[in-house]
Chain A
Amino acid sequence: MLTAGVIVLASFAYVGLLFAIAYYGDKRADAGRSIIANPYIYALSLAVYCTSWTFYGSVGRAATSGIGFLPIYLGPTLMAALWWYVLLKIVRISKANRITSIADFIGSRYGKSHLLGGMVTVIAVVGVVPYIALQLKAISTSFTVLLQYPDMATPYYDSAPLFLGDNTFYIAMLLAAFTILFGTRHLDATERHEGLVAAIAFESVVKLVAFIAVGLFVTFGMYGGFADIFQRAAAVPDLRGLLTLGGAAGDYTTWASLTFVSMLAVLFLPRQFQVAVVENVDARHLSKAAWLFPLYLLAINVFVLPITLGGLLHFQSAADADMFVLSLPLSQGRVSLALLAFIGGLSAATGMVIVETIALSTMVCNDLLMPVLLRMKSLRLIERRDLSGLLLAIRRGAIIGILVLGYLYYYLAGEAYALVSIGLISFCAVAQFAPAIIGGIYWKGATRLGATCGLAAGFLMWVYTLLLPSFAKSGWLPIVFLSEGMLGIDLLRPQQLFGLTGLDEITHCVFWSLLANIGCYVGLSLVRRPGAAEHSQATLFVDKQPSAAGSRFWRGKASARELAGLLGRFLGPERAQEALAAYSAGSGKPHGDGVTADAALVHHVESLLAGAIGSASARVMVASVVEEEPLRVHEVLEIIDEASQVLAYSRQIEQKSLELERASTELRQANARLKELDRLKDDFVSTVSHELRTPLTSIRAFSEILNDNPQLDTPERKRFLGIIIKESERLTRLINQILDLSRIESGRAEWQLSDVDLKDTIENAIAATSQLFTDKNVGLQAHLPPNVPTVTADADRVLQVLINLLSNAVKFCARGAGRVEVRLVNEPNQLRVEVSDNGPGISKSDQPIIFERFRQGRDTLTDKAEGTGLGLAISRQIIAHFGGTLWVESELDCGATFAFVLPVTARIETAAARAIAAPA
């Protein structure tokens, strides 16, 4: 058969190959050409889920419970369908916050809590150590079987001395050395190990190939295919029970609870978190891995039942069914196949141990030891120049320590349990993380208090109902602890707690521990609101997009040199310089010793440190160099003030736009007015043209008559010439008036101001128009008081107004019966002049119109307008110029009264004028 030398040589050759792959992977990563950046490698690395428990243990469990081993793989398959939501979110959060382990994740979520991170670490270590022991047991047993076959009945470890005399101890230490070389060669801020992942993916291929090779050999080499094996098994009464569910396979409750626990385990086992979250290159790989990984699980399980049944048929015994994968090829003399199977089992075990111990050592270092060491002032760690050596030493020590613990568990308790049962103990332990994580990424109200107490309660329940009984079964505790309960109290029997019976130990533990866990988590979270730190972290974790808001609320001073120094102490000076240079190149901000760090740089350094030593420790370290001023009330107020300034600014803008709107409305109105004026001007021009054309036309018509008829008699000729002269005068008058009006309107008229006696002016006007009155036989009466004060005006202009009013009055009076009255009234400070007639009057609607240019009240009798239509417009302008007003009072058929007032000359001026006039 095989000698120990060959087996050891083959093992070392295999490990050497792993190293080569890891080395190549790291080289490629350094060169920027990653070989693991694709979903296939990612899915294969996830298959670290399949350990030696899968490789050897599935067959062992199937030998006693048939299909009962499958929930361990069906759970992850179902969970993979939810990765799209759950795992993707965890990966994104972890990338944004540089989370490096599951302890870091939970601690960070609940306000960067040291206590919580430390607790998760303790639970993970305690919970996973049995699992590591399982791997050691598998390697050791498989080695023994391979070496001693067929004398495999003697358990090897019974007689072996502890530690140095025991092969398993050497295996453990070899694995430790291997892990240290793989995982802690240097310290990296991202905590990613590309070479390691490549090696793990390779191991997943090896174990799958080895297992399928054995399966094919057993199924088709030893037997005649699947149907043959199953039919032979069905013929054996003892094996028939394995082909159905119920009875030996356990009930549906066990089935469901195992599915549930493994659903949680595939997310929250430290090694799964490490490969799925921390080592993830690109979150997009998740979607393809979500079906590739279950496919891998399916493939590695297809041959479990044939191998189991084949082994049971061949050996006629379920003893050592764990090792059928090796013993079946050996029984057929297939030594090389057995060696391949051994290498497959070795790869399953080493893959698990390496990743698990790296994940655990990171947690022990970052979340358990460093926070404690940094706080122990006597160690003066904060002042040490280079801490990267210390960090590496702690991690290496942690790896060795964890493997020694695993070895001790194996040595002391390994015999009592089959492989699968040990693994399930670990599954139940890590299931305790589920409420804190799942709740933490979907429920903002979850608090540190709730998470801490929930974890503690769940963990204690797990210890009491599963771990302590496993110790009792191993003989560490009196066995009566199981049968009679703690202190002999029946209700406290650990596996029938409070009298609950009818459940297997796993289901029993899952029920009680998660009940206590979720109960405390939810219950205590509802007791009070989360604090400020918890709330800000909760927002970061629950709301999907990571924001830079964290740096917004930072007030402090630090020089870039101090920060670089701090980073250098943990990462090594060179890596620190590289990281800062990369940041400065990326952000476009200068870096160097003299620069004062801004909030963004401090935040960046803190996140870099978080990658190396965990977020909670990073906060402590950054705080040690940064003169951080806690946010005070007035600073909060300032921030609020800034916000309100922004508000005020926007209000200003709103106001401006209102003003603009108003201005544009005014402009629009002005424009409309301009258009109206333009239209009026056009009207005016066309009216003037019309008014000018009328006399021109008649002048021309009569001139042509005279021209064409030289034989016209003299009276006729005279009459026509008279018309022509009259029309020419009218034309001249019209043009004069137009010129006059435009002069007045444009302010270019010449005014000769003097003290005017209105009584004289009225008398002059009456004299000037007396011929009109006589012609039309209209009576005129003037009521003029003897003494009136003077007004300051242009006498000619006022005369013009009076003549206009008088001639208008005559014009509208009936021939013979017409009466016109002129009245001068002395009023306080002003004189009023009225010109009344008993003509047809002016309707109310016409009254405003008659003062406009070319608008005349129609003669209701003849419907013929006389005059130019400009007189009243000019009169009103003249009176207005002297500070008076001109208006009309009239009713239809009751005559009309035109009146104007003019202010009297100020008395002093009058007196002065008299004084000057007196000597003359």
Chain B
Amino acid sequence: MGGLTGQRLIALFLLGCLLLNYPLFSLFAGPGEVFGIPLLYAYVFVVWALLIALMAFVVERRSD
């Protein structure tokens, strides 16, 4: 088990907790829109997709 991969995943976990909770979350909770999509929805789904992509990247490129 590569120690670095584990640490990266924990970092991603913490990043996710940070981005998807108060107070950062509140910055995007108000009205507004991006390409016709409400800012809140766009933010949550983009962060979510980003987290998954990063996890896939970290897991798949591990050397062990």
* Contact, CB under 8 Å: B59 / A77: no
Q: How far is the CA of A288 from the CA of B40 in the complex (A)?
A: 29
New A-B contacts (9) at CB < 8 Å, excluding given A244-B30, A245-B26, A288-B59: A70-B44, A74-B16, A78-B16, A81-B9, A88-B1, A231-B36, A252-B25, A287-B62, A298-B45
Closest 3 CB pairs of A and B: A227-B36, A245-B29, A252-B22
Binary CB contact string for chain A from 195 to 232 against chain B (1 if under 8 A, 0 otherwise): 00000000000000000000000000000001110110
Q: Which of A77, A244, A255, A288 contacts B31 (CB 8 A)?
A: A244
Q: How far is the CA of A231 from the CA of B33 in the complex (A)?
A: 9
* Contact, CB under 8 Å: B40 / A84: no
Residue of B nearest to A85 (CB): B6
Q: How far is the CA of A244 from the CA of B10 in the complex (A)?
A: 29
* Contact, CB under 8 Å: A305 / B29: no
Q: A244-B38, A294-B51 are in contact. Are A259 and B20 (CB under 8 A)?
A: yes
* Contact, CB under 8 Å: B40 / A291: no
Taking Cβ atoms with an 8 Å cutoff, the residues of A that contact B are: 66-67, 70, 74, 77-78, 80-82, 84-85, 88, 226-228, 230-231, 234, 240, 243-246, 252, 255-256, 259, 287-288, 290-291, 294-295, 298, 302, 305
Residues of A within 8 A of B6 (CB): 84-85
Q: Which of A88, A230, A240, A245 contacts B25 (CB 8 A)?
A: A245
* Contact, CB under 8 Å: B55 / A291: yes
* Contact, CB under 8 Å: B25 / A243: no
Q: Which of B13, B25, B38, B59 contacts A82 (CB 8 A)?
A: B13
* Contact, CB under 8 Å: A81 / B41: no
* Contact, CB under 8 Å: B26 / A252: yes
Binary CB contact string for chain B from 22 to 51 against chain A (1 if under 8 A, 0 otherwise): 100110011101011110110011001101
Q: A231-B36, A291-B52, A298-B45 are in contact. Are A243 and B31 (CB under 8 A)?
A: yes
Q: Which of B10, B55, B62 contacts A80 (CB 8 A)?
A: B55
* Contact, CB under 8 Å: A227 / B31: no
Q: A84-B6, A85-B6, A291-B56 are in contact. Are A77 and B48 (CB under 8 A)?
A: yes
Residues of B within 8 A of A85 (CB): 6, 9-10
Q: How far is the CA of A298 from the CA of B50 in the complex (A)?
A: 11
* Contact, CB under 8 Å: A290 / B36: no
Q: Which of B5, B31, B37 contacts A84 (CB 8 A)?
A: B5
Q: How far is the CB of A270 from chain B (nearest CB, A)?
A: 24
Residue of B nearest to A233 (CB): B38
Residues of B within 8 A of A81 (CB): 9-10, 12-13, 16, 51, 55
Residues of B within 8 A of A84 (CB): 1, 5-6, 9
Q: A78-B13, A78-B16 are in contact. Are A298 and B22 (CB under 8 A)?
A: no
Asked if B21 lies at the interface with its beta carbon under 8 angstroms from chain A, I say yes
Residue of A nearest to B62 (CB): A287
* Contact, CB under 8 Å: B48 / A74: yes
Q: How far is the CB of A63 from chain B (nearest CB, A)?
A: 15
Q: How far is the CB of A24 from chain B (nearest CB, A)?
A: 30
Q: A67-B41, A84-B5, A227-B36 are in contact. Are A256 and B29 (CB under 8 A)?
A: no
Q: How far is the CA of A777 from the CA of B40 in the complex (A)?
A: 138
Residues of A within 8 A of B37 (CB): 226-227, 230
Q: How far is the CB of B26 from chain A (nearest CB, A)?
A: 7
Residues of A within 8 A of B44 (CB): 67, 70, 74
Residues of A within 8 A of B55 (CB): 80-81, 290-291, 294
Q: How far is the CA of A290 from the CA of B54 in the complex (A)?
A: 11
* Contact, CB under 8 Å: A298 / B52: yes
Residues of B within 8 A of A295 (CB): 52, 56
Residues of B within 8 A of A256 (CB): 21-22
* Contact, CB under 8 Å: B59 / A302: no
Q: How far is the CB of A751 from chain B (nearest CB, A)?
A: 88
Residues of A within 8 A of B45 (CB): 298, 302
13 pairs, A vs B, C-beta closer than 8 Å: A66-B40, A74-B20, A77-B16, A85-B10, A88-B1, A228-B36, A243-B38, A244-B40, A252-B22, A255-B22, A259-B21, A294-B51, A295-B56
Residues of B within 8 A of A70 (CB): 44
Q: How far is the CB of B36 from chain A (nearest CB, A)?
A: 3
Residue of A nearest to B47 (CB): A74
Residue of B nearest to A256 (CB): B21
* Contact, CB under 8 Å: B49 / A298: yes
Q: A81-B9, A85-B6, A244-B29 are in contact. Are A290 and B59 (CB under 8 A)?
A: yes
Q: How far is the CA of A360 from the CA of B37 in the complex (A)?
A: 43
Q: How far is the CB of A293 from chain B (nearest CB, A)?
A: 9
Q: How far is the CA of A80 from the CA of B62 in the complex (A)?
A: 17
Residue of B nearest to A228 (CB): B36
Residues of B within 8 A of A80 (CB): 55
Residues of B within 8 A of A228 (CB): 36
Q: How far is the CA of A244 from the CA of B41 in the complex (A)?
A: 8
* Contact, CB under 8 Å: A82 / B40: no
Residues of A within 8 A of B21 (CB): 252, 255-256, 259
Tell which of B6, B49, B51 has the most Cβ of chain A within 10 Å.
B51
Residues of A within 8 A of B9 (CB): 81-82, 84-85, 290
Residues of B within 8 A of A245 (CB): 25-26, 29, 40
Q: How far is the CB of A357 from chain B (nearest CB, A)?
A: 31
Residue of B nearest to A294 (CB): B52
Residues of B within 8 A of A230 (CB): 33, 36-38, 41
* Contact, CB under 8 Å: A226 / B36: yes
Residue of A nearest to B51 (CB): A77
Residues of A within 8 A of B33 (CB): 230, 234
Q: How far is the CB of B13 from chain A (nearest CB, A)?
A: 4
Residues of B within 8 A of A246 (CB): 29
Residue of A nearest to B29 (CB): A245
Q: How far is the CA of A88 from the CA of B62 in the complex (A)?
A: 16
Q: How far is the CA of A228 from the CA of B38 in the complex (A)?
A: 11
Q: How far is the CB of B28 from chain A (nearest CB, A)?
A: 8
Q: A84-B6, A230-B33, A291-B56 are in contact. Are A243 and B40 (CB under 8 A)?
A: yes
Q: How far is the CA of A142 from the CA of B30 in the complex (A)?
A: 35
